[in-house]
Chains A and B, each alone.
Chain A
């Protein structure tokens, strides 16, 4: 074993194929969603406590920057949702060939981005 290996473990030189990209996104978004659980619970609590806290939350959520964060989280949820359904299908042995697997990875990106844009249009 004199050959220097592995040859490319520089993260900026590795070119992941699309299924690899959506896989790491699944992980990153999953961790993100875990981190925002307390924020979401707090928002839920405010929305249900009293008419005053409900209105307060509403005005906070009307801020453009907050809307942008919400939209980002919506994208994270939708991506995790779509990629998760793809993994369930792969587990059941559907679409495990290279061609279909690449096509379904594209579909995950397309569907989650399209739905996010749709929700974004409704938010604004």
Chain B
């Protein structure tokens, strides 16, 4: 009988797969962003702001950041599962990380759409 815990691994393929899909999204975004910076010269603030106002930049960046946050969650969860043995402490750390990532998500959207 496998001992199942609330904060144990969910014995699933989902997170494993999500970790890889988000990685691919981030890698593609990174390469495209490098291309953008090589092609589009950022001379001053106004150029810089105009670049990030473009809808394609906004949506691509939000997609990238959501991938970062989901990817970070799975990675940290793996680290906690490996090193934090106490279920209560592990759960507390999960709550802290998830809360931070939810706040980062709102903050990210705010940064990009308040221009």
CB closest chain-A residue, reference B73: A34
User: Contact string, A15-36, partner B, CB cutoff 8 A, digits 1/0?
Assistant: 0000000000001001101100
Contact of A84 among B27, B49, B79 (CB under 8 A): B27
Q: Is B104 an interface residue (CB 8 A)?
A: yes
Whether the pair B48, A48 counts as a contact (CB closer than 8 A) is yes
Bitwise interface map of B from 77 to 115 toward A, beta carbon under 8 Å scored 1, else 0: 001000000000000000001001000100110010001
Out of B23, B45, B49, B107, which one reaches A55, CB within 8 Å?
B45
Query: Separation in Å of the A59 CB from the closest CB of chain B?
Result: 13
Residue of B27, B68, B111 touching A45 (CB-CB under 8 A): B111
Residue of A nearest to B111 (CB): A45
Q: Tally of A-B residue pairs with Cβ under 8 A?
A: 48
Residues of B in contact (CB 8 Å), total: 23
Whether B20 and A51, one on each chain, are in contact in the complex, defined by CB atoms closer than 8 angstroms, is no
Q: For the complex, what is the distance from the CA of A88 to the CA of B24, rounded to whole Å?
A: 9
The answer to whether A30 and B75 have CB atoms under 8 Å apart is: yes
Q: Which range holds the interface residue count of chain A?
A: 20 to 34
Determine chain A's interface SS by DSSP, over half rule: helix
Neighbour of A54 across the interface among B20, B27, B45, B108, CB < 8 A: B45
Taking a contact as CB atoms closer than 8 A, the residue among B49, B76, B107 that contacts A34 in the complex is B76
Would B104 and A41 count as touching, CB distance under 8 A?
yes
CB distance from B30 to the nearest CB of A (A): 7
A93 at the interface (CB under 8 A from B): no
Q: Which residues of B contact A85 (CB under 8 A)?
A: 27
- CA A42 to CA B49, docked complex, whole Å: 15
Q: Shortest distance in angstroms between B16's beta carbon and chain A's nearest beta carbon? A: 9
Which residues of chain B have a CB within 8 Å of any CB of chain A?
A: 20, 23-24, 27, 30, 44-46, 48-49, 52, 68, 72, 75-76, 79, 97, 100, 104, 107-108, 111, 115
A-side residues, CB < 8 A to B, are 27, 30-31, 33-34, 37-38, 41, 44-45, 47-48, 50-51, 54-55, 81, 84-85, 88, 91
Which 8 interchain pairs have the tightest Cβ spacing? A54-B45, A51-B45, A34-B72, A30-B75, A45-B111, A84-B23, A41-B107, A44-B111
